[in-house]
A and B are shown apart, each in its own frame.
Chain A
Amino acid sequence: MTNAIEINCATGEVIERPLTAAELTQREADAKAALDAKAADEKAAADKEAKRLAVYAKLGLTADEIAALA
């Protein structure tokens, strides 16, 4: 079961309750958005690295020389 914690700052009361159906649905959507952003980050980093390596290749550098520049 997935629970939420609610802390009432006025009374100090702490309530632990299961997430509602709507909260579960929203949580899934929010999680997907976060994962999509992470995937976009990783793709951007991979694309940048590929471009960097392509430039080195055009310069005629060997793999060892490229590694030495990293």
Chain B
Amino acid sequence: MATTYSLISSNVLSSSAASVTFSSIPSTYTDLVVRVSGRTDTAGQAIDTIQLQFNGTGGTAYSYTRLTGSGSAAASSTGSSVSVINGYYVLDAATATASTFGSVEIYIPSYTVSQNKPLNVIGAQENNNAAAYMAATAGLWTNTAAITSIAIQNGGGNYVSGSSFYLYGIKNS
């Protein structure tokens, strides 16, 4: 049976970092999956936003639509012509329950084809509190280049030690 889901690379932080970038991503797969277990040190916040940028390009080529729910309220918003894709409220931050991490999956289909790159970000924050968020974000990078690097940032803090980042490649055969 063919191996269709392969770990390309991973990193578990041993010290804090503002961003984690997977570079020189091989073009031998059809889709990419990024899995993150993340917590940031953003002060005064229980939740944080994961931010994605491709091939080191910022500018205005990104857009997104997101839905979030906190357990008591739902919200949605869109962003266009922005410099990153914001996956809102899927990371734990400084005031969330200690030693908890948000869990996130990012799916990027057809990352090498010459067309704009849609993706989705789905995740849930973990918090032993009445308010705990989950969110789904549809994102688009308006660029036809193959994705060769993925920068995983956050809403202004640092990913804390123990946050983990896994990049998988998926083949269709």
Contacts and interface: CB of A to CB of B under 8 A. Distances in A.
A binds B: yes
Interface of A: 2-12, 14, 16, 19, 23, 26-35, 37-38, 40-41, 44-45, 48
Contacts of B86: 30, 33-34, 37
Given A4-B19, A37-B88, A45 B83 contact: no
B163 to A, nearest CB: 10
Contacts of B156: 27-28, 30-32, 34-35
Q: 10 closest Cβ contacts across the A-B interface?
A: A31-B156, A34-B155, A10-B24, A45-B73, A41-B75, A34-B49, A9-B9, A5-B17, A6-B21, A5-B20
Interface of B: 8-9, 11, 13, 15-26, 47-49, 51, 58, 68, 73, 75, 77, 79, 82-84, 86, 88, 153, 155-156, 158, 165, 167
B131 to A, nearest CB: 11
A44 B22 contact: no
Given A3-B17, A30-B84, A9 B155 contact: no
A22 B86 CA distance: 19
A7 to B, nearest CB: 5
Specify which of A9, A38, A44 lies most central, judged by the most chain B CB atoms within 10 Å of its CB: A9
A4 B165 CA distance: 13
